[in-house]
Amino acid sequence: MSEVLKNVIVGTAGHIDHGKSALVEALTGTHPDRLAEEKRRGITIDLGFAFLEDDGVRFGFIDVPGHERFVSNMLAGAAGIDLVLLVIAADESIKPQTREHFEICKLLGVQQGVIALTKRDLVDDNFLALAQLEIEEYLRGSFMENAPIVPLSAKTGAGLAELKIALHHAAERVKGKDATHSFRLPIDRSFAMKGFGAVVTGTLISGSIAPGEGVELFPSGQRLRVRGVQTGGQNVARAFAGQRTAVNLAGIEYTSLKRGMGLAEPGKFRSTRRIDAQFTLLPGSHKLKHRDRVHFHATAMETIAEIFLYGANELAPGESALVHLRLQDEVLALSGDRFLARQFSPVTTIGGGVVLDPLARRPLLRDTGRPAFLQTLRDGAGTEILAAMISRAPMGLRWEEIVARTGWKASEIREALAPLSASAGVKVIGPDRPLLLEGKSFMELSRNILQNVENFQRANPLVPGIAQEDLRAKVGRRVRPESFRASLTELVADKQLEVLGEIVKRAGTGITLQPDEQAAKEKIAAAFRTAALAVPAAKEVLSELQVEVKRAEKLLHMLLREKVLVRVSPELIFHQQALAHLKGQLLAYKKDRGERISVPSFKDLTGITRKYAIPLLEYLDRERLTRRMGDERVIL
Ligand SMILES: Nc1nc2c(ncn2[C@@H]2O[C@H](COP(=O)(O)OP(=O)(O)O)[C@@H](O)[C@H]2O)c(=O)[nH]1
Ligand SMILES: [Mg+2]
């Protein structure tokens, strides 16, 4: 069972002709050069792959080209490696691409390594010892300071057994990739397989994938289905993080799949063109100026980036800074991803760094809090990072956005959130994938709502309260509907507000009518009640009252709001009792004479004129008590 083997991706690194490909062949039996041109010229141009299963470990070798012209190919494979096999020929020792590849490994954050001192058969003991000294000195202070240096010869086989032992020791210390995380596969090759269609390969950097599952292609966002999965040349039921993986995709031509694209769990992540990052300029390079452009490499992809320096005009060699990268193409990047920068001419690696915020906004001068925020992203623990993200999201931080920006698992988000929600520093709105709002913003919102209700009631003493819709508009657009609802619910639970249908009012408040107002209100209601369906015009009713017209109108509205009266058309108002009576009549009609009723029959039934009958029928249609069919109505 391949799942019980530890999967370790080993990347070769080193100068051209130092014996990387020969060594991979000597270890695995597979010569990694696959292209005809590579075979003809005897040099590695593109990435090569080979496997070795040995003593509980499955080593996936990525053999990289050493030639300086093919460093970008080297980088496409370098992203997923757990362990570097730094290949140095004993007769030449350290050369330019030994250095460049090693710098790249450092920038990519590779943690483990072994040095293969090849071509042992070409040098004497003294020469070998000198090379060894030089290498030790070169590696001092780096992550490979204590890495084993194994002299060997791919030609005679001497030292290969020792190298395997050293690889095993290093493999034990490899942390391994997280198979429980979201699926993500940067694509480093694509091709068509006869009878199967499009196939992509890559190092499965997190999660797992199985035939039948859906995936999202980045940066396009296309949804695709996985037809088959292979690791190490075998069909498997599921491939896991840390394995070299080939995925057969349905629904796409292989020609539209390219190195640098990626597959990921659908719907989780977003492509980006703007990234905030920590960037380190290598000691040997020229100083970097604000808005310099570089080749940008991350996972298997490559594009061009413009580098904005936060608060500085230039960066000195060997220094590190917070930067904003504006990318020429959309990419899938997650926080924590490593990237490399190469200058334009000559094309050499000048630095690299770590993505802090993959969904960064355009740098703005007034956004003075950004550097501090990025420092928190860089140095902070989960809870601090989440708190900082929430405080920079005045309208609330959506769960989906946390996932897209951090790549955290749901359990990680909950863990980071727990202390914040417990201390009321953060308001958690909604059950499943809640919206997170700063506690103080939520309190402000509640105050704002209360104030608006109060203001309204003060200005409109004869109105029982403000309509929810109007309140929503007063509170403003910068409040999300779910925040508004949550605050309202909480204010009701706290007995500060009452909600009556669509009306919101301060708890305990009611309209106290003056005796003359009360009498007038009753008179209005009575006028409509006694009129039944032969209702008077509202104007007439109001003009006969003791109170002046303005107050009388408010009383009428009050009755409408209380649903004692119902406005059927702009001119027609009925008492609700009359309408209830009419509904009863219609049901009786349906029972006796069938569900169809014509306008004349309706007039007969109700004894009203056509002038009233038509708006009333239209009202009944709207209320879904009747439905119009030609000239008739169907009673529902
Ligand atoms: N004598 C000797 N030659 C070697 C050894 N390893 C590789 N070579 C030769 O060195 C040349 C370059 O090897 P290759 O594996 O292509 O180097 P790469 O460019 O680092 O991949 C080839 O001709 C190999 O046969 C070794 O250990 N001893
Ligand atoms: Mg090679």
What pLDDT, in 10s, does the model give residues 389-444?
Answer: 999 999 999 999 999 998 898 999 999 999 998 888 899 998 888 999 999 999 99
Q: With a 6 A CB cut-off, is 21 part of the ligand 1 pocket?
A: yes
Statement: residue 66 has pLDDT above 70: yes
| 33-52: pLDDT as tens digits | 888 888 888 888 888 889 99
- 510 burial (CB, 10 Å; 0-12 / 13-18 / 19+) is exposed
Q: With a 6 A CB cut-off, is 155 part of the ligand 1 pocket?
A: yes
The amino acid sitting at 5 is: L
Task: Say how far apart CA 297 and CA 290 lie, in whole Å.
Answer: 19
Q: With a 6 A CB cut-off, is 151 part of the ligand 1 pocket?
A: no
Q: Whose CA is nearest to atom 25 of ligand 1?
A: 22
The amino acid sitting at 187 is: I
DSSP H or E run through 238? none
Look at residue 227 and give its three-state secondary structure. Answer: strand
How much of the chain exceeds pLDDT 70, in percent?
99
> What mean pLDDT, rounded, does the chain reach?
91
Q: How far is the CA of 340 from the centre of ligand 2 (A)?
A: 22
Task: Say how far apart CA 79 and CA 75 lie, in whole Å.
Answer: 7
Look at residue 2 and give its three-state secondary structure. Answer: helix
For residue 186, what are the contacts with CB-CB under 8 A and spacing of at least 6? 79, 80, 202, 203, 205, 260, 262, 299, 300, 301
Q: With a 6 A CB cut-off, is 20 part of the ligand 1 pocket?
A: yes
Identify which of 22-36, 460-474, 530-544 has the greatest average pLDDT. Answer: 22-36
Q: With a 6 A CB cut-off, is 47 part of the ligand 1 pocket?
A: no
The residue count of the chain comes to 636
Angle at 596 between CA 590 and CA 599, to 5 degrees: 110
Q: What are the backbone angles phi and psi of residue 544, rounded to the nearest 5°?
A: -90, 5
Residue 511: what pLDDT? 67
Look at residue 338 and give its three-state secondary structure. Answer: strand
Q: With a 6 A CB cut-off, is 12 part of the ligand 1 pocket?
A: no
* Token representation of residue 229: 């999965």
Rounded to an integer, the average pLDDT of 613-622 is: 91
Q: How far is the CA of 380 from the centre of ligand 2 (A)?
A: 41
Q: What is the pTM of this model?
A: 0.77
At 1, is the pLDDT very low, low, confident or very high (cuts 50, 70, 90)?
very low
Q: With a 6 A CB cut-off, is 17 part of the ligand 1 pocket?
A: yes
| 248-298: pLDDT as tens digits | 999 899 899 999 999 999 999 999 999 999 999 999 899 999 999 999 999
CB neighbours of residue 456 within 10 Å: 19
Peptide bond just before 346 cis, omega within 30 deg:
yes
Residue 280: what pLDDT? 96
Rounded to an integer, the average pLDDT of 57-86 is: 87
* Token representation of residue 3: 């799942």
* Token representation of residue 328: 């020429």
Rounded to an integer, the average pLDDT of 352-376 is: 92
Q: How far is the CA of 85 from the centre of ligand 1 (A)?
A: 15
Ligand 1: residue of 12, 16, 21 to mutate (most ligand atoms within 8 A of CB) is 21
Task: Say how far apart CA 493 and CA 623 lie, in whole Å.
Answer: 32
Task: Give whole-number Cα distances, 231 to 47, 206, 299, 395, in Å.
Answer: 17, 15, 19, 45
Residue 2: what pLDDT? 44
Q: Whose CA is nearest to atom 28 of ligand 1?
A: 119
